[in-house]
């Protein structure tokens, strides 16, 4: 039996069959291939999106949530440009969603994994396409990651001190919700956290699930 996550992805494939991929490519600033499929880079890997589904160009294994995130992105009706102004994930929730802004469980593993090891964190961010954007005033570092066209992220790494543990925060572009619904952005954040941890562990951006 397929997992719930696999069922979510399989439920998106019929929608991809009905999607105008040419229109999606134009709106999202993505290259359209000669066969009508779309190329997109996501977390250090290239993918091909067609009416048949989402597949990594290298043919290696991939987490099904990565496929779902990219399908949701292509199916989005979002238009416009990023704000290049960043807010916590909780700020993107609409009024119809109950959300505790104090919950940081999704990014807690990053602080635990990279505590006292900013060198590995910076190497990993570079492998995933991140660009260092400066030191923070409070013993930390700032990175910009264009995780998808139209959706840049600001990733903040804070060193541990006598009072607080190491912390990594993922800040979303203010306009991110134009291109993905809140629940889909949660999937996106989960994919990023996993990619950072697995890339640091394996030294590669592909080949693992």
CA distance 18 to 67: 17
Say how many C-beta atoms besides its own lie within 10 A of residue 164's C-beta.
Answer: 12
Kindly give, in sequence order, each residue whose CB lies less than 8 Å from that of residue 44, ignoring residues fewer than 6 positions away.
127, 128, 129, 195, 199, 205, 206
| pLDDT per residue as tens, the chain (209 positions) | 468 999 999 999 999 999 999 999 999 999 999 999 999 999 999 999 999 999 999 999 999 999 999 999 999 999 999 999 999 998 887 644 444 544 578 999 999 999 999 999 999 999 999 999 999 988 899 999 999 999 999 999 999 988 899 999 999 999 999 999 999 999 999 999 999 999 999 999 998 87
What local confidence, expressed as pLDDT, does residue 6 receive? 95
Predicted pLDDT at 116:
95
Report which DSSP code applies to 80: S
Q: Which domains does the chain have, with CATH numbers?
A: 4-75 (no CATH), 86-202 (3.30.310)
Answer for the pair 44, 205: CB distance below 8 angstroms, yes or no.
yes
Q: In what order do the strands lie in the sheet with 45-50?
A: 38-42, 45-50, 53-56
Which runs of consecutive H residues, i.e. helices, occur in 19-63? 21-28
* Two tokens, residue 62: 């991939």
Other C-beta atoms closer than 10 Å to the C-beta of 181 total: 15
Q: What is the pLDDT of residue 93?
A: 79
């Amino acid at each position: 039996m397929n997992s719930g996550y696999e069922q979510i992805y399989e439920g998106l494939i019929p929608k991809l069959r009905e999607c105008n991929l040419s229109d999606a490519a134009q709106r999202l600033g993505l290259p359209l291939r000669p066969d009508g499929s779309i190329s997109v880079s996501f977390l250090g890997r290239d993918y091909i999106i067609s009416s048949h589904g989402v597949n990594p160009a290298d043919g290696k294994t991939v987490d099904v949530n990565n496929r779902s995130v990219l399908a949701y992105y292509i199916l989005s009706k979002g238009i416009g440009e990023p704000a290049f102004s960043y807010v916590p994930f909780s700020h993107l929730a609409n009024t119809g969603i109950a959300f505790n802004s104090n919950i940081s469980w999704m990014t807690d593993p990053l602080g635990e994994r990279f505590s006292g090891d900013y060198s590995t964190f910076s190497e990993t961010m570079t492998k995933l396409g991140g660009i260092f954007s400066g030191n923070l005033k409070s013993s930390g570092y700032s990175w910009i990651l264009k995780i998808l066209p139209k959706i840049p992220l600001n990733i903040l790494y804070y060193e541990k001190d006598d009072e607080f543990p190491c912390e990594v925060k993922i800040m979303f572009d203010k306009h991110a919700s134009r291109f993905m619904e809140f629940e889909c952005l949660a999937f996106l954040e989960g994919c990023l956290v996993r990619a950072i941890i697995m890339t640091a562990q394996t030294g590669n951006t592909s080949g693992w699930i």
